[in-house]
C-alpha cells in the first residue's frame, strides 16, 4: 500500500493512500495500518549474513556502530552543500547514486539491527507516530521548527 503526504494549502494533515483515497493523518497514527513491511528484507538480510557466517559479528553494538558509520557517510555527501544543493542532490547524476547507496546502507543496517534485537519496526513506527502526534499537534506545530516543549 502506497502512502504519500498530500502537501499544500489546507492539505498539510492528509495522507493519500495508493488507491486514491485520503484519510486524516490523525486517523493513520491511530490505526493498525501496516506502515512498514520489512519482513522479506529482514529474511533476506538474515540469510545473507548466515551464508557468510557473519552472525558472530552482528552484535547490537557492532551493528549500531556500522549504522552510525553509514549515517556519517551519508552526512559527508551533504556536508558542504548549500540548502538548495541538498534539495537537488538526487537530481544530480553524479551525486544521486552516492546518496541512494548510503540510504540503502542505512536502511539495511537498521533492519538488521532491529532483527537482531527482535524489534518490530512497524509497531514502533506506529507508536512513535502516535506519540509525535500528541507532542506536535497540528494546531501548535504547523510551520514551526520548535521542539514540542517550546510550542
User: For residue range 92-147, what is the model confidence (pLDDT) as tens digits?
Assistant: 999 999 999 999 999 999 999 999 999 999 999 999 999 999 999 999 999 999 99
Please name which of 127, 104, 119, 100 lies closest in space to residue 35, comparing C-alpha atoms: 127
User: Contacts by 8-16 with C-beta closer than 8 Å and gap 24+?
Assistant: 12/138, 12/142, 13/138
Determine the pLDDT at residue 36.
85
Domains of the chain: 37-119 (1.10.287.1080)
User: For residue range 44-68, what is the model confidence (pLDDT) as tens digits?
Assistant: 999 999 999 999 999 999 999 999 9
Q: 101 φ, ψ to 5°? A: -65, -40
Please name which of 119, 101, 123 lies closest in space to residue 110, comparing C-alpha atoms: 119
pTM: 0.77
Amino acid at each position: 500500500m502506497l502512502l504519500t503526504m498530500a502537501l499544500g494549502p489546507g492539505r498539510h494533515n492528509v495522507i493519500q493512500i495508493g488507491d486514491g483515497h485520503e484519510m486524516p493523518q490523525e486517523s493513520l497514527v491511530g490505526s493498525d495500518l501496516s506502515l512498514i513491511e520489512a519482513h522479506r528484507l529482514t529474511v533476506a538480510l538474515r540469510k545473507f549474513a548466515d551464508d557468510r557466517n557473519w552472525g558472530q559479528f552482528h552484535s547490537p553494538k557492532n551493528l549500531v556502530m556500522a549504522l552510525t558509520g553509514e549515517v556519517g557517510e551519508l552526512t559527508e555527501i551533504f556536508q558542504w552543500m548549500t540548502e538548495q544543493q541538498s534539495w537537488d542532490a538526487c537530481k544530480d547524476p553524479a551525486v544521486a547514486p552516492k546518496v541512494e547507496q548510503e540510504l540503502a546502507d542505512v536502511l539495511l543496517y537498521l533492519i538488521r539491527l532491529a532483527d537482531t534485537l527482535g524489534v518490530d519496526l512497524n509497531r514502533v513506527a506506529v507508536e512513535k507516530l502516535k506519540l509525535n502526534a500528541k507532542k506536535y499537534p497540528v494546531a501548535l506545530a504547523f510551520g514551526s521548527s520548535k521542539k514540542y516543549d517550546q510550542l
